[in-house]
Amino acid sequence: MIRKAVVVVHGIVQGVYYRYSTKNRADSLGLRGTVRNLPDGAVEVVAEGEEERITALIEWCRKGPRGARVDRVDVEWDKPSRAFTDFSILYDYY
């Protein structure tokens, strides 16, 4: 079953290749969606795909890449939008 999760990762997660590493992990899991930095220092991950694969990505997000310190991971499940064709990094500038 295709699901969607919106994941917000808090801690030291910007400036440590968190977005790039998340994209690589999501690609390896065959997920679609986005990852972006938030103005408050958190990282937002939106992932669509098989629930088991999203769960694997969420578990990876709890640790992140070397150099990251994850303090908290918030997850909201939702109906998939099917609007994504791949998994991409969004470069928002604040």
Active site residues: 19, 37
Question: What is the CB neighbour count within 10 angstroms for residue 16?
Answer: 17
Question: What is the CB neighbour count within 10 angstroms for residue 41?
Answer: 12
The one-letter code for the residue type at 33 is: G
Task: Specify burial of residue 88 (Cβ count, 10 A radius: 0-12, 13-18, 19+).
Answer: middle
40 neighbors 84 (Cβ within 8 angstroms):
no
